[in-house]
Amino acid sequence: MENKQAIVDAISTNDKYEKYELDANAPTKKNMAKNRTMVLLDRTVVNRLCCCKKKIGNTYNSVISNLLDKYENGD
């Protein structure tokens, strides 16, 4: 178990990745505080998402949130 945690810690502190906490259930702020899943995304993936959404000036978190909202709504 300790080895697994050490690997997770090593990956999550790597400069190549951005960490995002995403709500697995409803998109409300209450649920987001209670029920989170940690997701590691490669920075090149995040940059591509930003380019696709034409929101280069926005933070990565807002771009990811907007994308997830559209996905959950079936847009």
Question: With bands split at pLDDT 50, 70 and 90, how would you rate the model's confidence at 26?
Answer: very low
Stretch 28-52: mean pLDDT? 60
Number of domains, the chain: 1
Torsion over CA: 60, 64, 65, 70 (sign): positive
If you write DSSP's letter for every residue of 9-74 in order, what string do you get?
Answer: HHHHT-TTEEEEEEESS-SSHHHHHHSEEEEEEEHHHHHHHHHHHT-TTS-HHHHHHHHHHHHHHT
pTM for this entry: 0.27
Confidence at residue 65, expressed as pLDDT on a 0 to 100 scale? 72
Stretch 13-39: mean pLDDT? 49
Q: Which of the 8 DSSP states describes residue 3?
A: H
By residue range, what is the domain housing residue 36? 2-73
Read off the tokens for 19: 């960490």
Confidence at residue 73, expressed as pLDDT on a 0 to 100 scale? 72
